[in-house]
Amino acid sequence: AQRVTQPEKLLSVFKGAPVELKCNYSYSGSPELFWYVQYSRQRLQLLLRHISRESIKGFTADLNKGETSFHLKKPFAQEEDSAMYYCALSRGSYIPTFGRGTSLIVHP
Amino acid sequence: DADVTQTPRNRITKTGKRIMLECSQTKGHDRMYWYRQDPGLGLQLIYYSFDVKDINKGEISDGYSVSRQAQAKFSLSLESAIPNQTALYFCATSGTQGNEQFFGPGTRLTVL
């Protein structure tokens, strides 16, 4: 069975500090991994996916198959980054599995 | 812009009542999903549908049913609402070009 684990429910940092939101997965095949973000009172939206290897809003995430991780990183957090972040895994049949989410709070 | 919409946005109801939440999309996507979001539990998949004649149970389908009336419409029903179904419900779609999910704005349901 596929599983996504986000070990931190809450991550609190100060503006300008580095941020790392952890995501570990278990899946026997080749995963497709995503990070979604939900700002206050807004719908969930895609932040980035591992196959595109992009940097979105300063965030990056690298798939580490050896450690089965897909951690989300940003070198300098901004207050507007405060949101709920979900890691998600999709397999070929298009049925996604979401982690329980990490709430990021960036203090001024 | 193509979108995913949900009605109602907020609903308060009583235990035992039947409730229907509706989802419509103009994205032209075949795949549609219903999730519930609870604090600390993240998103849990209730039902999903890959086309009009396809309905599948997700992780937590007990107490829920769905109807795919058309490619663009996917409704979620609570036949007899109970308080632990109080949650935020999201509809989502995905297309054939990848597994990205496009979410609706959510329906906040409170069962008293």
pLDDT(B57) > 80: yes
Q: How far is CA A86 from the centre of its chain?
A: 5
Q: Which residues of B touch A36 (CB under 8 A)?
A: 101
Pairing of the two strands B42-51 and B31-38: antiparallel
Give the pLDDT confidence score for residue A104 in this predicted structure.
97
Mind telling me how many Å the CA of A1 is from chain B's nearest CA?
A: 12
d(CA A81, CA A90): 25
Percent of chain B with pLDDT over 90: 85
CB A86 within 8 A of CB A25: no
Q: Tell me, yes or no, if A105 comes closer than 8 A to chain B by beta carbon.
A: no
Give the pLDDT confidence score for residue B99 in this predicted structure.
78
pLDDT in tens, A69-89: 999 999 999 999 999 999 999
What's the number of CA atoms in the CB half-sphere (13 Å) around residue A11? 24
pLDDT(B1) > 80: no
Give the pLDDT confidence score for residue B63 in this predicted structure.
95
Do B90 and A43 count as a contact with CB atoms less than 8 A apart? yes
pLDDT(B98) > 80: no
SS3 B18: coil
Tokens of B85: 């179904």
pLDDT(A14) > 80: yes
CB A85 within 8 A of CB A4: no
Which letter does DSSP use for residue A69 in this model?
B
Give the pLDDT confidence score for residue B42 in this predicted structure.
86
Q: Which residues of B touch A96 (CB under 8 A)?
A: 33, 45, 99, 101
Give the pLDDT confidence score for residue A28 in this predicted structure.
77
Mind telling me how many Å the CA of A15 is from chain B's nearest CA?
A: 25
CB B73 within 8 A of CB B11: no
Give the pLDDT confidence score for residue A95 in this predicted structure.
82
Residue of B nearest to A5 (CA): B42
Give the pLDDT confidence score for residue A51 in this predicted structure.
77
CA distance to A59, A87, B19, B52, B53, per residue, from A7 (Å): 19, 11, 35, 37, 38
Alpha helices by DSSP H, listed for chain B, are: none
Do A95 and B98 count as a contact with CB atoms less than 8 A apart? no
What average pLDDT score do residues B38-58 get?
91
What average pLDDT score do residues B91-102 get?
85
d(CA A80, CA B98): 28
User: What is the overall mean pLDDT for chain A?
Assistant: 91
What average pLDDT score do residues A47-51 get?
87
Give the pLDDT confidence score for residue A92 in this predicted structure.
65
Do B106 and A99 count as a contact with CB atoms less than 8 A apart? no
Q: Tell me, yes or no, if A44 comes closer than 8 A to chain B by beta carbon.
A: yes
Phi-psi region of B89 (alpha: psi -120 to 50; beta: other; left: phi over 0): beta
Q: Return the minimum-mean-pLDDT range out of A22-26, A47-51, A93-97.
A: A93-97
Give the pLDDT confidence score for residue A93 in this predicted structure.
65
pLDDT(A4) > 70: yes
Give the pLDDT confidence score for residue A41 in this predicted structure.
85
